[in-house]
Chains A and B, each alone.
Chain A
C-alpha cells in the first residue's frame, strides 16, 4: 500500500500563535519529538492526534492538514 502523503501547516500556525513545540506537544498530548517529525512532514498522525493538534492551534483540521 502506498504511503499517505499529507502536507501540513503546523509550523506556520504554531509560529503565528507564538507557541513553542513543547507547548503544542503538551496541548495536543504528544511528545515534542512527534511535533518535530510532523513539522518536517516525516510523520503522518492518526486522526485523533490530527484533531488534537488542530484544536490546540485553534484551527479547523482542513486548515492544518491537506492531502498532497
Chain B
C-alpha cells in the first residue's frame, strides 16, 4: 500500500474518532453548557483534541513533502490530493452555507442565535474538513478518475 493511501486511511480513522468524541462531549455539555463559564472544561478538552490533531496533520504534510519520505509521494498522489482539496473546499463552503442559513431560519423569530453554535461551527469546520479530505482522497484514489 502506498504511503499516501496509508496516511489517508489513518487520517480518516483519527478524524472520525475525534469527530465522534467531540460530538459526544458537546452533546453531554449541551448547547448552553458549551457557551457558559461552566463549560470551560469541555471547551479545553475539545481544543486539546482538535487543535493538536490539526497541527499534526500539517506536520505530516510537511514530512511527506520535505522529510525523509518525501520521494514516496508521487505525481499521481499529488494530483489526487489536489482534486480532493478542490472538492472538499466546495463541500465545506456548501456545508457552512447550509448550516448558517438553517440557523438563521431556526432562530429568526428570536432575533439571535445561541453563541454555542458559533463554537460548534468553528471547531466543527476543522473536524469536518479534516475528515472529508482523506475520505475524498481515498475515493479518488480507488476510483482512478485522475490524469497527470
Residues of chain A touching chain B, judged by Cβ–Cβ distance below 8 Å, are 3-4, 29-34, 37, 40, 42-46, 48-49
Contacts and interface: CB of A to CB of B under 8 A. Distances in A.
30 contacts: A3-B147, A4-B147, A30-B75, A30-B76, A31-B3, A31-B72, A31-B76, A31-B77, A33-B1, A33-B2, A33-B4, A33-B5, A33-B141, A34-B74, A34-B76, A34-B77, A37-B76, A40-B144, A43-B146, A43-B147, A43-B148, A44-B147, A44-B148, A45-B75, A45-B76, A45-B148, A48-B75, A49-B74, A49-B75, A49-B148
Contacts of B76: 30-31, 33-34, 37, 43, 45
B74 A29 contact: yes
Contacts, number: 47
Contacts of B3: 31
Contacts of B1: 33
